[in-house]
Amino acid sequence: MALMTAKQYEESLRELNLNVYMFGKKLQNVVDDPMIRPSMNAVAATYELAHQPEYEHLMTARSHLTGEKVNRFTHIHQCVDDLVKKSKMGRLLGRLTGCCFQRCVGMDALNALSIVTYNTDQKHGTKYYDRFLDYLRHVQEKDLTCDGAMTDPKGHRGVPPHKQPDPDHFVRVVDEQSDGIIIRGAKAHQTGAVNSHEIIVMPTLAMREEDRDYAVSFALPSDTKGIIYIVGRQSCDTRKLESGCMDRGNVLYGGHEALVVFENVFVPWDRVFMYKEHEMAGQLVESFAGYHRQSYACKVGVGDVLIGAAQLVAEYNGVAGAGHVKDKLIEMNHLNETLYCGCIACASEGYQEPSGTYSVDTLLANVHKQNVTRFPYEISRLAQDLAGGLMVTCPSEQDLNSPEVGHLVTKYLQAEPNTSMKDRMHVLRLIENLTLGAAAVGYLTESMHGAGSPQAQRVMISRRANMQEKVKAAKRLCGIEASD
């Protein structure tokens, strides 16, 4: 089965026996839970679109291992065109779902491992790359969704893993056996964790010799014994439990994150991709982060939705023709397309790594992500400006439908007379969802912290910007070079 359908994906999740907790209770049926379901729908869209002829060129690729058609989310980038298509796919799905569709972290983990397992073998004479390729073949053949798990809880941010008061604040090896290793610790903020078939664990920072027990990377089926998922809360999340769907804002899709705990979990050797080669941890972090910073092409697609919503609300309010409104929409588009330039540029300037995998240009990927930490906030500010205060004071859908007060809501919330008052409520809820509600988790806070907080990109920009070349250019033009 090289390409699953959305239905097959849903059924495959039913076969998993995940240990998931939410609101203090164990979930018996994860797939149909009304809180989780919208996020499952968003991942299902990555399967659905792969079967649609108009999107096939973006959503699928030829496996370099088997020559079979595979979902691009399981593909290893073989050329610059693959990288560019990855950015376009992210925008497409962001626009379709208006939220986080979760599957990119696994794709980015696979691509990073395809580079680093090869480099580790070259340096240490290990056999990780072949092991990784066997795993990749499995993921591609079954069309699996993988959770990319990098971020540890990290405890005291100022001290390295081996000096943490609680040694479990970074995922670590606690025992070695003839057939595998035992792992303990946790990964925080895991996007799409309970919608995933597999979990791919990577270290979260560059490591020194003293931290070698923490320099570990591996992959496991998501329902492996000892893995516990604790689903994170999102702003306005329990609106999904209410009757009606208008107040959810996004009536179709959503995202989720979870705290994933590893309670003495066994990992067989054939699923281990790094084992105490501490000096390779930093390379894996940088490679994953580069790819994932490119993946924030998704925010451009979500930005498309928010800009569309801002245009609509201006029409419903009867002010779409006003000069300042048009100008604000132009600014929103300018910022959003600037983001698009970044994710296309870092892909277009991609290059081949020794393993054959194509990597993004790291400097440009970091500049792109740095912009992502800012522009969605400004786009949101402008959308809230155009929405008016009603986006946070609007009565509920139940009030709209109430026999007692429904007519009052209808009368007083009507704006431009030729537009629908109910549609106005719908679009205000969508803007609320994207800028303050459940989708703001992905559109705003994840834009800030996902794939590393802003400072992480500034560190990379300072490392990758070629300052010597710039100084040389300046010296030459002002005549300093001639006097050297």
Ligand X SMILES: Cc1cc2nc3c(=O)[nH]c(=O)nc-3n(C[C@H](O)[C@H](O)[C@H](O)COP(=O)(O)OP(=O)(O)OC[C@H]3O[C@@H](n4cnc5c(N)ncnc54)[C@H](O)[C@@H]3O)c2cc1C
**Sign of the C-alpha dihedral computed for residues 92, 97, 98 and 103 taken in this order:** negative
Q: Is 224 a catalytic residue?
A: no
| Contacted by 449, from ligand SF4, ligand X, none: CB < 5 to 8 Å by type | ligand X
Q: Encoding tokens for residue 332?
A: 């929103």
- Would you say 60 or 97 has its CB closer to ligand X? 97
Q: Is 100 a catalytic residue?
A: yes
The binder of ligand X chosen from 52, 157, 321, 412 (CB under 6 A):
157
- Give min distance, CB of 449 to ligand SF4, in A: 11
Q: Encoding tokens for residue 268?
A: 């067989």
The binder of ligand X chosen from 98, 185, 303, 450 (CB under 6 A):
450
Using CB under 6 A as the binding rule, whether residue 63 contacts ligand SF4 is answered as no
Residue type, 134: D
Using CB under 6 A as the binding rule, whether residue 396 contacts ligand X is answered as no
Candidate list 104, 146, 236, 394, residue with the active-site label: 104
Greatest alpha-carbon pair distance for the chain in Å reads: 87
The binder of ligand X chosen from 143, 257, 277, 304 (CB under 6 A):
257
Candidate list 118, 214, 275, 296, residue with the active-site label: 296
Q: Is 426 a catalytic residue?
A: no
Of 311, 337, 357, 319, nearest to 119 (Cα)? 357
Q: In the stretch 435-464, what mask flags binding to ligand SF4 with x, by CB under 6 A? A: -------x---x---x--------------
Part in contact with ligand X (CB under 6 A); list of ranges 33-41, 69-77, 144-152, 330-338? 144-152
> Cα–Cα–Cα angle for 420, 424, 426, nearest 5°?
115
Instruction: HSE, CB side, 13 Å, CA atoms: give it for residue 130.
Output: 5
Part in contact with ligand X (CB under 6 A); list of ranges 17-25, 189-197, 267-275, 309-317? 189-197
Burial 355-376 (b: 16+ CB within 10 A, else e): bebbbbbbbbbbbbbbbbbebb
The binder of ligand X chosen from 39, 111, 117, 191 (CB under 6 A):
191
Q: Is 191 a catalytic residue?
A: yes
Part in contact with ligand SF4 (CB under 6 A); list of ranges 96-104, 134-142, 227-235, 322-330? 96-104
| Contacted by 295, from ligand SF4, ligand X, none: CB < 5 to 8 Å by type | ligand SF4
Q: Are residues 200 and 146 in contact, defined by beta-carbon separation less than 8 angstroms? A: yes
- Would you say 388 or 442 has its CB closer to ligand SF4? 442
The binder of ligand X chosen from 177, 410, 455, 462 (CB under 6 A):
455
Using CB under 6 A as the binding rule, whether residue 101 contacts ligand SF4 is answered as yes
d(CA 333, CA 427): 18
Candidate list 97, 151, 191, 204, residue with the active-site label: 191
Candidate list 257, 277, 286, 315, residue with the active-site label: 257
- Would you say 114 or 295 has its CB closer to ligand SF4? 295
Using CB under 6 A as the binding rule, whether residue 298 contacts ligand SF4 is answered as yes
Sheet-wide strand order for 216-221: 146-149, 198-201, 216-221, 272-275
Of 260, 258, 172, nearest to 218 (Cα)? 172
Candidate list 292, 340, 343, 426, residue with the active-site label: 292
Distance of CA 264 to the CA centre of its chain: 27
Instruction: HSE, CB side, 13 Å, CA atoms: give it for residue 282.
Output: 8
Q: Long-range pairs for 116-121 at CB < 8 Å and ≥24 separation?
A: 116/273, 116/274, 116/280, 116/283, 116/284, 116/287, 117/273, 117/274, 117/355, 118/353, 118/354, 118/355, 119/280, 119/283, 119/353, 119/354, 119/355, 120/274, 120/277, 120/280
d(CA 86, CA 222): 25
The binder of ligand X chosen from 39, 190, 357, 435 (CB under 6 A):
190
CA dihedral 22, 27, 30, 35 (to 10 degrees): -40
Q: Is 296 a catalytic residue?
A: yes
d(CA 33, CA 27): 8
- Would you say 198 or 446 has its CB closer to ligand SF4? 446
- Give min distance, CB of 43 to ligand SF4, in A: 10
Q: Is 292 a catalytic residue?
A: yes
Using CB under 6 A as the binding rule, whether residue 296 contacts ligand SF4 is answered as yes
Using CB under 6 A as the binding rule, whether residue 161 contacts ligand SF4 is answered as no
The binder of ligand SF4 chosen from 30, 35, 43, 100 (CB under 6 A):
100
Residue type, 22: M
Q: Are residues 118 and 354 in contact, defined by beta-carbon separation less than 8 angstroms? A: yes
Question: Which parts of 302-321 interact with ligand X (CB under 6 A)?
Answer: none
Residue type, 145: T
Using CB under 6 A as the binding rule, whether residue 295 contacts ligand SF4 is answered as yes
Query: Which stretches of the chain bind ligand X, using CB under 6 A?
Result: 105, 148-151, 154, 157-158, 187, 189-191, 257, 441, 445-446, 449-453, 455
Task: Give contact residues for ligand SF4 (rule: CB under 6 A).
Answer: 100-102, 104-105, 191, 295-296, 298, 442, 446, 450
Residues forming the active site = 100, 104, 191, 257, 292, 296, 298, 446
